[in-house]
Structure 1
Amino acid sequence: MGRTAFKFISDLLLWSAAAPLAFMLRLEDPWPRYTQVALVYALAGLPIKAVLEASFALHLQVWRRMGIRDLYSLAKAVFFGTVLLSAVAFFLHLDQPIPRSVPLIEGGLALLLLGGVRLAGRMLFERAQLAQSHLRHRSPKRVLIVGAGEAGTMLAREMLRHPESGLVPVGFLDDDPGKQRQRFVGLPVIGRIEDLPRVAPKARADEVLIAIPSAPGKVVRRVVELARGAGLRHRIVPGIYEILSGKVAISQIRNVDVEDLLRRNPVQLDTSEISGYLEGRVVLVTGAGGSIGSEIVRQVARFRPRRILLLGRGENSLYQIERELERTWPELDWRTIVADVRDREKMRHVFTAYAPEVVFHAAAHKHVPMMEANPDEAVFNNVGGTKNVVGLALEHGVVRFVNISTDKAVNPTSVMGASKRVAEYLVQWAAQRAKPGQAFVSVRFGNVLGSRGSVIPLFKEQIASGGPVTVTHPEMTRYFMTIPEAAQLVLQAGGLGNNGSVYVLDMGEPVKIVDLAKDLIRLSGFQPDEDISIVFTGMRPGEKLFEELLTAEEGTEATKHEKIFVARTHGMPEEALSHLVKALFDAAVARDVERIQGAFRELIPTYEPKGFEA
């Protein structure tokens, strides 16, 4: 007999056994007076129960994985069975009338019996798994979970279901007063976060798991300090920007990274506004293989575009995002286009062949010292590429154009920053020529953690090799934002429209680079200036101590989104812009650094180049 047939017959026998039990509970002395009545009633209900068993696929349920949905299906089947059996009891004319409460009692007993056998199957399976786990893991890790919310309880449940992971939850820590001394999934809340050093030894915890995806960086930092002080390993579940699906699994647990220490309160997005301009549209992302471009692709995919065009020069990075889309969004229609935004004819072919309706322009050179040494390339790519894409978007009636800009475009001291400021001018020029229904905007933000140009990968590499960690200046500060957060706010800013605007993202508080270096050293298990030294190397060409998000004359105006502001900027007259951009290109073609800097000064009065050595 197969397993499915066995479960089918077992369910029928248990459900049928509920009938005589119901008579016994309802009547004081039913036998032998009601023997024939009970038998006829049970036999009459057998085909009904068989049909319901098959209709609700109860025999296909996996008992060892019994869950709430399975129990819900079982309850529905028993409910309909009770209704039908009540009708049978009413219409059956026998020597003794069937008490009307018998079908109701039978239904309750059936739910207990059928649910009980499934629960027993699950408990036996989990006990067997736990026994095997103890054989494999002689000393499983006892985990103290920080956060008794949705993520924490979900993870505790996962650990209990999968003892083979070698993790055993022992309790929760949570600052919510309403959760103190409560139990979740059978585990107690044994204190507040500040109680960690006191309760961890009592709970014999081996590890602390931070399970608050929405926790700001200061909370994560505090837990890490307390865990380190208690000599406990500390890990974390991804932040809210990484857990877009709302699902949390053991496989997502990872070591605490510096991004977690700089986390901010999650931004509430207006998804309906974003869907309004992305859903069902053809979306072009330039620089789609880069850190920002690829994250924009991931975020756009959530809003059901008709097609995404992945455009970039690096075939390897494009290949990686291709593979990711195949895994995570198999139903998505996308095309990969290897192209250079500087090639106007190739870009014209892209716009003609694919007719993009929304464009996110993320293709740019971003490395400040490298562009100081190669200013002509910054002009050709950042200015020339933007000029091509903007012009073609205008020509082909693109509905929404979003240019990715940078805080380095404000009072620029570098060629890279100056080139991005001119790119903003070009977008504003297109906005002046746009037709009704079109919107051309720029979005300006600071450094993103984990991007290819970020200082974080360099620091990690230096720590891995034993140091020293090199920091340019003890007072150098930067604004930081995670890549997913930046990409989501870019999409939100695009939804605001407001043709010609330069949007400024709320970057929070600036962070000292030396403090960032110290955090990374500690997270790597070392002590700054003891195990790993920090060396100050001096500022590089084009760098400045403090980045700004606005020029002094701009100021901002609020938008309806709390984390997005609009800069009060003014574009340049078309004739003057055209003349000065031509002069800039002539200087770049001549590879004349001084002429390039002079042309940038003409375009941007606040541009002050410094630190360049030819």
Structure 2
Amino acid sequence: MNYRKKLKDKIYGGDNIVNLSDVRYLPRWIILIIDILLVFLASLVSCYIIGKLNGNKAVFYNELYMFAFIVGVNVFFMYVFRTYAGIIRHSTFIDLFKLLLATFCSTLTIGIITSVYFLWKGFELIKSDVPFLTIFFVTSFMVLSMFRLFVKEFFHILREFRRSTLKKRILVLGIGESSIAIARAVLDNHNLPYQIVGFLTQRADSHRANLLGKPIYTRAKIEHNSKEDLALDGVLILKEMMTKEEMNFWVNLFLEKDLQVFKAPTVQKLRDNDFGVSIKSLQIEDLLNRKPIVIENEEVKRRHHGKIVLITGGAGSIGSEIVRQVAQFNPEMIVILDQAETPLHEIELEMRSKYPQIKFKFVLADISNRYRIEPLFQKYQFSMVYHAAAYKHVPMIEENPHEAILVNILGSKNLSTLASKYKVNRFVMISTDKAVKPTNVMGASKRAAELFVQALQDSEGNVTKFITTRFGNVLGSNGSVIPHFKRQIENGGPVTITHPDIVRYFMTIPEACELVLHAGTMGNGGEIFVFDMGEAVKILDLAKRMIKLSGLEPDVDIKIIYTGLRPGEKLYEELLSDDATTLPTHNEKIMISKDRHMEFEEIEQFTQLIIKSALRGEKVEVVQLLKEIVPEFKSNNSVYAVLD
């Protein structure tokens, strides 16, 4: 077996060290030999006691034969009851009961055979056989069971010792009541893989004091000592108790010292039964999270309560979160449309379980098929349409530009014109920062969709308010960089980055969807809402922090390699074009971009031409027309750059 080979390699490999954890269990024949030796020992002890009681007279007629006879009978019943078959460290009451039966049957059989022999030959094989057998029964059962109990307890002690040595030695950041309560909870739960060794504070006047019998470390002690000198593995923080600036400061310090960072919930959110699960490693999303938009819940609720809402792309990252947030406002019905079967099924199971009181309609359909989606507008009087369905992966769309036209342009055209035809109150389209000065087909197709929706706002007879939202990368969305990096780190690397200087803006999925809901309530029609995304994040720095948060060292444990910019990719994204101006709104984080408009007749003519080209599969012609619709579209690192 593999474990025997490992054990042999340990013994003969040169280090002469055998880890007891490598010994899974002893072979059965070794257990049987140990049991035989213990039975022989019990026989000797019984003989000694009876001999002393009888004035040192011989107990057996022939000691050699009688010892062999007693051991042989015991071995027979050990085989019958298979007392040697179990793993000793996991012995149970059943194993002890089997020992009792085997010992009792052995003693009884020995007594019967010696009595028959005495009646037949008139000769005693065992002097004082009843006292001897009684002592032998008690002694043999006791030594056999004690052996098992000793081994079981030994491995229990060994396991507990190893568990304590494997526990991570951590500090708790802060000396406030919440920090002390979390530390006490960890100390009281011995099953957690953490050992609290002290507290950490900014204050310099607390280093002589103790909390819960643990010392208080100062920031200076962490800064001026190495991880090895401190004998620490990590630090436990309460994320909710710090500002973003404070958390970034402390996390940078901990990562510089190669300390792992763990986050714990507040005491109010803590439950005893899942406390161990509540303590998690700090994720990069925790550092990128910003203060979310404060939306007017009453206005949003009024717009959705008792209404019928259509959400396209409702099985995707953004669409599914919009579904979850809209469901909180008790609409009359939510119609969820997507062409991805399995994700649509998953969101159906989730929503029917969480909101059994709400009517849902899950539609498997392609938005480029007008004949499939128009019956939905005929049947349901939609009050709101959230259009999140789109093709979004830049390299994939660069290879298949005609498909982007059919979904991103034709699909948006179908939905928006149907919304206008059936007098939907509001239509909210979700766009992207890649639509600003696009360098790829995906961004250009979304910009063309923006132009069509904006132009439709001023078309004759329209009463629908068409609103566009534009934002950057979303944390954790399907295909985004952070889940991709996580998978690469879990697989041991390397982490691949297209360019060392590439930067991106980030926001959380709930934050992005709050923007969408807010835009749906505050827009008057024709606006493009852009979001203050804060500071751009350098992807290289992001990757390094993610590796360090995983307890690894960049370029040592996990290699970082550069693959070059992909077709259509640019170093940085923009939310506003150069010639655009912005208008403020009552929310300081949301602005209105005043971009170039097109007349409806002009964009309608262009879209008809480009859709026909896409249906014919004419890739170059499609991109050429797209560059006419969006003059600022300049291909980057792409075969279509020759068209510029």
Once the two structures are TM-superposed, the CA of residue 303 in structure 1 deviates from its matched residue by 2.6
Question: Paired residue for 1:285?
Answer: 311
Q: Is the 8 A contact 2:439 2:568 kept in 1?
A: yes
Once the two structures are TM-superposed, the CA of residue 479 in structure 1 deviates from its matched residue by 1.2
- Render the CA deviation track for 1:549-605: whole Å, top value 9, x for unaligned: 111111211111111110012421111111111111122122222211221122111
| Structure 2 CA distance for partners of 1:137 and 1:397, relative to 1, 3 Å | farther
Residue 556 of structure 1 aligns to a residue in which SS? Answer: strand
Q: Is the 8 A contact 1:285 1:360 kept in 2?
A: yes
Counterpart CA distance in 1 for 2:190 and 2:445 is 56
Residue 507 of structure 2 aligns to a residue in which SS? Answer: strand
Q: Is the 8 A contact 2:260 2:551 kept in 1?
A: no
Q: Is the 8 A contact 2:397 2:403 kept in 1?
A: yes
Question: Paired residue for 1:580?
Answer: 606
Alignment match of 1:426 (pick from 444, 449, 452): 452
Once the two structures are TM-superposed, the CA of residue 373 in structure 1 deviates from its matched residue by 0.5
Pair 1:253-2:261 in alignment: no
What runs of 5+ residues in structure 2 fail to find an aligned partner?
1-159
Amino acid paired to 1:418: A
Question: Paired residue for 1:519?
Answer: 545
Amino acid paired to 2:332: R
Residue 240 of structure 2 aligns to a residue in which SS? Answer: coil
Pair 1:372-2:381 in alignment: no
* TM-score (ref. length: structure 2): 0.65
What runs of 5+ residues in structure 1 fail to find an aligned partner?
1-133
Counterpart CA distance in 2 for 1:576 and 1:502 is 20
| Structure 2 CA distance for partners of 1:533 and 1:167, relative to 1, 3 Å | closer
Q: Is the 8 A contact 1:146 1:212 kept in 2?
A: no
Pair 1:462-2:502 in alignment: no
Counterpart CA distance in 2 for 1:524 and 1:376 is 41
Q: Is the 8 A contact 1:220 1:260 kept in 2?
A: no
* Equivalence map 1:110-509=2 (5 Å): 144-146=171-173, 207-213=234-240, 215=242, 218-228=245-255, 232-237=259-264, 247=269, 250=275, 251-433=277-459, 438-509=464-535
Amino acid paired to 2:235: V
Counterpart CA distance in 1 for 2:395 and 2:247 is 34
Root mean square deviation, CA, Å: 3.8
Question: Paired residue for 1:9?
Answer: none
| Structure 2 CA distance for partners of 1:231 and 1:453, relative to 1, 3 Å | closer
Q: Is the 8 A contact 1:445 1:549 kept in 2?
A: yes
Counterpart CA distance in 1 for 2:187 and 2:359 is 39
| Structure 2 CA distance for partners of 1:548 and 1:232, relative to 1, 3 Å | closer
Question: Paired residue for 2:77?
Answer: none
Once the two structures are TM-superposed, the CA of residue 345 in structure 1 deviates from its matched residue by 1.6
Residue 427 of structure 2 aligns to a residue in which SS? Answer: strand
Counterpart CA distance in 1 for 2:481 and 2:454 is 31
Question: Paired residue for 2:3?
Answer: none
Out of 500-509 and 353-362, give the one that drifted further.
353-362
Amino acid paired to 1:409: A
Amino acid paired to 2:563: T
- Render the CA deviation track for 1:161-185: whole Å, top value 9, x for unaligned: 87765667787667799x999999x
Amino acid paired to 1:521: I
Q: Is the 8 A contact 1:193 1:223 kept in 2?
A: no
Residue 606 of structure 1 aligns to a residue in which SS? Answer: coil
Counterpart CA distance in 1 for 2:221 and 2:358 is 48
Counterpart CA distance in 2 for 1:426 and 1:154 is 57
Counterpart CA distance in 2 for 1:202 and 1:540 is 45
Amino acid paired to 1:337: V
Question: Paired residue for 1:554?
Answer: 580
Once the two structures are TM-superposed, the CA of residue 254 in structure 1 deviates from its matched residue by 2.1
Amino acid paired to 1:222: F
Counterpart CA distance in 2 for 1:408 and 1:558 is 22
- Render the CA deviation track for 1:502-550: whole Å, top value 9, x for unaligned: 0001111111222222122222222222222222222111111121111
Counterpart CA distance in 2 for 1:271 and 1:169 is 42
Residue 598 of structure 1 aligns to a residue in which SS? Answer: helix
Counterpart CA distance in 2 for 1:436 and 1:577 is 16
Question: Paired residue for 2:148?
Answer: none
Counterpart CA distance in 1 for 2:307 and 2:202 is 45
Q: Return the index of the structure with the highest Cα Rg.
A: 2
Once the two structures are TM-superposed, the CA of residue 409 in structure 1 deviates from its matched residue by 0.4
Counterpart CA distance in 2 for 1:322 and 1:148 is 46
Residue 239 of structure 2 aligns to a residue in which SS? Answer: coil
Aligned residues: 475
Once the two structures are TM-superposed, the CA of residue 466 in structure 1 deviates from its matched residue by 2.9
Counterpart CA distance in 1 for 2:407 and 2:209 is 59
- Render the CA deviation track for 1:258-284: whole Å, top value 9, x for unaligned: 212222234333222322312222222
| Structure 2 CA distance for partners of 1:597 and 1:400, relative to 1, 3 Å | same
| Structure 2 CA distance for partners of 1:579 and 1:526, relative to 1, 3 Å | same
Counterpart CA distance in 1 for 2:469 and 2:526 is 11
- Render the CA deviation track for 1:374-397: whole Å, top value 9, x for unaligned: 000000000011111111111222
Q: Is the 8 A contact 1:154 1:248 kept in 2?
A: no
- Render the CA deviation track for 1:419-474: whole Å, top value 9, x for unaligned: 10011112212322487974210100111122122122322233333332221112
* Equivalence map 1:562-577=2 (5 Å): 562-577=588-603
Question: Paired residue for 1:65?
Answer: none
Q: Is the 8 A contact 1:215 1:265 kept in 2?
A: no
Amino acid paired to 1:499: G
Counterpart CA distance in 2 for 1:187 and 1:300 is 50
